[in-house]
Structure formats: C-alpha cells, structure tokens
A and B are shown apart, each in its own frame.
Chain A
Amino acid sequence: MPQDPADLIEAYYQKGWTDGFPVVPPSAKSLSAMLAAGGLQQDQVISDIPTRNLVITADKIALNAVMAGCLPEYMPIIISAVRGLCHPDFNYHGMATSTGGAALAIIVNGPIAEEIGINSEENLFGPGNRANMTIGRALRLLMMNSLNTKPGALDRSTIGHPGKISFCFAENEKQSPWEPFHVERGFAREESTTTVFATQDIIQAYNQLAQTPEPLLAGLADAIANMGSMNIISQQDVVVVLAGEHLKVIIKAGWSKEEVKQYLFDHAKQTVADLKRVKRIAGSVEPGDETTWRHVVQQPEDIKIVCAGGAVGTFSACLLSWGGSRSATSMVTTKI
C-alpha cells in the first residue's frame, strides 16, 4: 500500500483511472463529504444506461468528482448532468463511442452558477476556474472510469479535441438582454439547470468592424455552415455563444433573440451543388442544385443562443453538434 501521497497519485495512474492528469486521491472523508453535499446515500442509484448495461450509483459519481478536484458543493450540478447524459434522447452510447470524438458540453443556468462561482465571463472556455474545470473533468472521468468510455476501447475518436477533457460553463444571465437559456427551455428563472450537449466543434468567430447585427451575424452564419461540419448534413442543434462587444452590437440595435436566430438560419446554408462538389452529398450536380439550399439546421429554433464571455473583445463562439443524422442526439436540460 502506498505511503507517500505522490505514490498514491501514481497508483491511480497504474490502475488506469486518470485522464492523463494526476487525480486527487479520494479518502473516506472526502467521499463522505461529496455524498453529503448531494444529499445522497453511497449505494443510491442515480441513473442507468441500458445500452451499456450500466447502473450508476452515487458513490461512483462522488469518487470521480473528488478525483477531478471538485468541491462538495459542485455535486448537485454533477448529479444533474449525469441524469442528462443518461437520458435516452441524449444517446450516450452514440456520442461517447463515435469516431466523431464529441465533447460533453455542460451549460449551467440559474442561481447556482453564481453561488458556486462558475465562470460565465472572460476566458470561460479556458483554464483558471476551479468549478468550470473540475465539474467538466468529473463528468469525463466518470465516463472513462465508470461508463467504459476509455480511449481505444469504447471511445473510438479519430481525433477528439481538448473539450473532451473538460467543458463546463455558465450563461451570463445578467449580461443577457433576453430570457435565460433555461427559461427558454421551460424552466423558471429561479430554478437552476444543467444542459448537456454533444459538441463536435468549437469555432471562435471574429469580427472587429461590424457595427450592426447583419454583417456580424452573416460572419457567424458562415462559421456555422462550414462544409466540413457534421451539422450541414445532420441539421442538428447549434449553440451560438454571443459575447462581449458582439452582444453589445445586437443589444444596441434592439434585436430580439428570435430575430437573431432567424437571421442566422437564413444565412447559415450551402447550396446542394456546392455540397455535391465537395462530396458531402452524393451524386452529380443536377439542374436546380445551384439554387437549392441546405440550411445548417431545420428551423430557426434549432439555433440556441447563450450569452456569455468577456465584456471586451470581438469574438463569439459557435458550438456545432455531433451526430451523423438529426436523430442521433438531442441536448437535454435537467433541473438541479
């Protein structure tokens, strides 16, 4: 049995129970604190994944949360996200196993985000914030250690991306001129939620000169509708994170969220002819293909707007969906 903390950390490496970074070795005390923060019993069943014949108990979630470096007060968020990823509509087995290498994005809404300090502002996708980094990491460690989603085994990502290590952020509801994302999805403003979303691509879209919504959103639409994305064929949901000075341009013009979605929908498209030329659609170019458009989603409502990011800077982000067809996965919002 290891006697030195460094040896203990190494022992977790030897067992294959890390994501490549060192984990925090759990103790009976830290495990107990994590369970207590969630109001959970050790063997309490939280959810299951029938396609993998797995039943997920609270102690396994708590262990991975401790190992990820979470504080106990993060546990309710983690439990909510686990319930989301186990929802049949999310199709865990597909997103977790696919060669597409999707990240599990966790979007947190409601009062809890501010209470526990989830970053919704500058560098929210980047390093530096414990809640963002460790909550996302806890979910990925759970996927790897407990849900058999090991690279080379049931994680067959051709490339993968760094968002697979950890990807959790909150909406900046104070910055938003519109109703929060979770309210749009049927929850009360005072409720807290997680939304899990299998995202294939993260694109930072830059525009320093646009002073009105139209050119700004046209650039974002072009980023969304790139011909290499899965989205242009699958037409699944897209998340657009409007940040900083981009959001100010839209607020100044007085646009509603629906107007933003409609404009993005109208412009995020490719012709069938172009998609055939690059072999994203099979067959030769036929008469009419030059003027037949394929939109990146099926309807404006499929574009989800989240307000977050630093107040300064002319960047926004587009999170495209994983999935080869529209029915492959759906984002799931769960009350905390």
Chain B
Amino acid sequence: MDLTLFDPTIPVQPESIDYAPRPKRLNNLKVMLVENSKYNSKTILLKLFQHLESRFQMQLAGVIRKQSAGHAITDPDIEACIKTADIAIAGIGD
C-alpha cells in the first residue's frame, strides 16, 4: 500500500507591490474616487471628499465605479487615475 501524503495545495506566489510615493502635502491635490459598487460606497467616498475639499482645497478628478466588488480595477481605469489625479481613494468591503 502506498502511504505517501500527496499535497493538493498550490503555493501562492507572493507578489511585491510598492506603495505609491506619499504626497508631500495635501493642499490642492486632485482626487480620484474608486467605488466598488456596494451600496453607499459612493456616498461615503463623496462625503470624505467634501471634508478633504474644505480642509485642503482638493479637487475631484472623477469617480470610477468598478464592475463589482469582486472585480479588480481595470487597466484603463488605472491609467485614468494616473493621468488625471494626484491621489486615489478606494472604497473596499461591504
């Protein structure tokens, strides 16, 4: 009888992703909001932006809506963030 244990797992290849450099100051930055399609995601992000606007005079570059919460943001949307915004704020979870 073959009594070897066979490992059914697939090792996850860790991927190193560098953080984007933090802005040196918050004043007058252009902000992209990335909402994940969950109820209230956009509402909360816009509320947050209002605070940033009044406190740091930030400007809204746009709002991106993901296909669904379980989908990754698309490459064209990432490009749009890079081209039009200084920072992005994403809504995650429920």
Shortest A164–chain B CB gap in Å is: 17
Interface stretch (choices B25-33, B67-75, B78-86): B67-75
Is the CB–CB distance between A1 and B3 below 8 Å? yes
Specify which of A12, A31, A51 is in contact with B5 (CB 8 Å cutoff).
Answer: A12
Residues A145 and B70 in contact in the complex (CB < 8 Å), given A8-B3, A28-B4: no
**A324 interfacial contact with B, CB 8 Å:** yes
Residues A3 and B68 in contact in the complex (CB < 8 Å), given A99-B94, A147-B10, A148-B12: no
**A207 interfacial contact with B, CB 8 Å:** no
Is the CB–CB distance between B5 and A91 below 8 Å? no
Determine chain B's interface SS by DSSP, over half rule. loop
Specify which of A1, A99, A146, A328 is in contact with B10 (CB 8 Å cutoff).
Answer: A146
- Number of A residues whose C-beta is below 8 Å from B? 47
Complex A-B: 11 CB contacts under 8 Å: A5-B1, A8-B5, A51-B72, A53-B13, A63-B6, A97-B70, A142-B8, A148-B12, A324-B68, A324-B69, A327-B37
Complex: chain A residue closest to B67, CB-CB: A327
Is the CB–CB distance between A91 and B15 below 8 Å? no
Specify which of B8, B39, B70 is in contact with A63 (CB 8 Å cutoff).
Answer: B8
Question: Which residues of chain A from 289 to 336 have a CB within 8 Å of any chain B CB?
Answer: 323-325, 327-329
Interface stretch (choices A54-62, A111-119, A212-220, A266-274): A54-62
Is the CB–CB distance between B12 and A94 below 8 Å? no
Shortest A43–chain B CB gap in Å is: 12
